[in-house]
Structure 1
């Protein structure tokens, strides 16, 4: 009986996510994610943290180091290791996982403006404000300033954390239960925060690495009034959870862009 309920809910969510591709998926353009070769490892081992840019996971396109504001690894004991970026690459960093517990890798991208333009080729994204895009021809549909934040949670040994840390990103997804609860077939609760406060009625999407098509998400659900979303993770593997928030630009900015777009993601390992 439990399996039947899980499958029905999953396929309903797939339909919702596929519809989302055609309606709002283009609003964010490409998005940044932070991942690791192994999100489940043992103390004393070496791991590789890297960045992913685009829609295909785990790897789509390389990233220009100039666009990265912060790239760090937080240890279970609270220390912070700054990760290096260079050129246009995946910015892979080999790290030694010394401690037992939960590591958090984070990346913050510099805010950037992109514009959706309609021309004879259809819709295309242009870098820069709607004033700059208009000079290149076509009709400006809308322009947005994009703020992007991403995390990856690395389990080292027996991680007994009751919940994950809040890093203080302007837009952030925080799992409410610790790694021992990230088990296939269970409900995974997350809270979405905007400027430190719960983001109510905020759409949250999830997918596991390997789900097809690449630009779809296999689960979609809104947060409740406390900013909490409950995701049924129906299989083991690496899952990515994503949320996006869009607000009108301030009046003084609307000559350059129309919207403020915030995107957050978190990658974690669901155990069998």
Structure 2
């Protein structure tokens, strides 16, 4: 198998190192019942099978109900990129509104969209939820800092491209099969990495027709193994969202309790 090669890091990303701790041990040891599952973003292009040579319109979904919930505006995004086999990685302009446009795709119309949400705090206080840390709200009942990212698979990159490409996200789902291969076998194999190390934990998927929260009512779920590989049953054509979550304690408890990582991947099975 071709080894995944990370693309150059984007400016402004400062993921915390794992420092040799096994992901599975962290996931087992870190349980904070007072914190509820945070919202998560997903890439929402107008189509997952765009024609070659044209720009592609894009929105960023946000919330708990795929595919229709809220949308993130550009003021809450850190980076948007388009990767294509023909041109590599290019920036997608971030406008202040909720609609974005990629650079023209290559002739094949295939590639990956990468989205990095600006990390932020969220505290539950006696006065309600606040987008701030415990430093601003010492009476906070709980505090989390979210580090979220999202990807979308466009078209059908060659299998070797799917295996080789990473977008260097803190938590990342890497598809290892084309949509046509998923349709033929009814399954998708992925690899999940957290800070560049194998992620051990549940990988969940939900179909767009289910219109629900993948963390509550997944249509498919599988645990990744010690090398970060998981195989999910995607038994219907149409749009799917995959989701993974991880967490670590915040390094200074007087500021916040936990860092929550969410990563999603959207794709369409023909």
TM-score class, shorter-chain normalisation, is: 0.7 to 0.9
Q: Is the 8 A contact 2:67 2:211 kept in 1?
A: no
Instruction: Using the TM superposition, name which of 227-236 and 90-99 deviates more.
Output: 90-99
Partner of 2:56: 47
Please report the TM-score for the alignment, with normalisation by the length of structure 2. 0.77
List alignment gaps of at least 5 residues for structure 1: 1-22
The answer as to 2:160 corresponding to 1:162 is yes
CA contact (8 A) 2:150 2:265 kept: yes
Query: Deviation digits for residues 73-123 of structure 1, max 9, x if unmatched?
Result: 111224333222223x3223165333216311111012111123467xxxx
* Equivalent residue for 1:128, pick from 115, 128, 132: 132
Cα offset, 1:42, TM superposition: 3.1
State whether structure 2 residue 198 is matched by structure 1 residue 194.
Answer: no
Q: Following TM superposition, by how much is the alpha carbon of 1:175 offset from its aligned partner in structure 2, in angstroms?
A: 1.1
Aligned to 2:259: 260
How far does residue 263 in structure 1 lie from its aligned partner after superposition?
0.7
Q: CA deviation at 1:152?
A: 0.5
Larger Cα-atom Rg? 1
Structure 1 pair 161/246, CA: closer, same or farther in 2 (3 Å)? same
Unmatched segments (≥5 aa) in structure 2: 1-31
2:101 corresponds, among 89, 93, 100, to 93
Cα distance in 2 for partners of 1:53, 1:127 equals: 16
Q: Could you tell me how far 1:44 is from its partner in structure 2? A: 3.8
- Preserved contact between residue 153 and residue 266 of structure 2 (Cα < 8 Å): yes
How far residue 199 of structure 1 moved from its aligned partner, in angstroms, is: 0.9
Aligned pairs for 1:136-175 (under 5 A) are 140-155=140-155, 159-164=157-162, 165-175=165-175
In the alignment, which residue of structure 1 is the partner of 2:113?
105
SS at match of 1:96: coil
1: CA distance, partners of 2:197 / 2:101: 32
Richer in helix (by share): 1
C-alpha displacement of 1:218: 1.9
Offset of residue 235 of structure 1 = 0.1
- Deviation of residue 46 (structure 1)? 5.0
Structure with more of its chain in strand, by fraction: 1
Residue of structure 1 equivalent to 2:208: 209
Distance 1:161 1:131 in 2: 48
d(CA) in 2 for partners of 1:214, 1:263: 13
Q: Report what 2:234 is aligned to.
A: 233
TM-score where L is the length of structure 1 = 0.77
What SS does the corresponding residue of 2:75 show, helix, strand or coil? helix
